[in-house]
Amino acid sequence: MANRFTADEISQANAYLDHPGDTCDPRIERLVNDLIGRVADKWTLLVLEELEERGTLRFTEIGRAVDGISQKMLTQTLRQMERDGLLTRTVHPVVPPRVDYALTPLGNSLSAAFCGVWMWAERHLEQVETARAAFDARD
């Protein structure tokens, strides 16, 4: 797999790891904390995944694809994702109303970043399950 990061980006990451308090812009730290809180929300991750895999979808299609999500939670999730610039909402002037949602390049890049989490989970599933079973057996 080719490296997706430039030499400058790698250098900046290494500088941060060496001296985290010295190089971190507080605005970036707030944004990272905010995004982790939002994206760690299971609904955001599931909506992100559906839009990444299937492209532009209507509200009802997303609702059917994301098992267990209520209309209220789907509306809140989509609005917050739109606010963060992760997706676009297109209202078509037809009867009945039609609204389409699609990931923006920013949303696509976030989806790609979280692909690493899936890859990690695939590689380490058995180790995590073994660790959990050992922990649970201690009692």
- Rounded-to-integer distance, Cα 104 and Cα 86, Å: 5
On the CB side of 79, how many CA atoms lie within 13 Å of its CA?
Answer: 6
Identify the DSSP state of 101: E
pLDDT in the model for residue 1: 43
Side-chain half-sphere exposure of 91, counting CA atoms within 13 A: 4
> So what's the pLDDT on residue 136?
94
Which element (helix H / strand E) includes 82?
A: helix 71-83
Predicted pLDDT of residue 59: 95
Burial class (CB in 10 A: 0-12, 13-18, 19+), 87: buried
Q: What is the pLDDT along the chain (139 residues), one digit of tens a residue?
A: 455 567 776 666 666 556 655 556 777 777 777 767 766 678 998 999 899 999 999 999 999 999 999 999 999 999 999 999 999 999 999 998 899 999 999 999 888 877 777 788 888 889 989 999 999 999 7
For residue 32, the Cα-to-chain-centroid distance in whole angstroms is: 12
**What is this structure's pTM?**
0.67
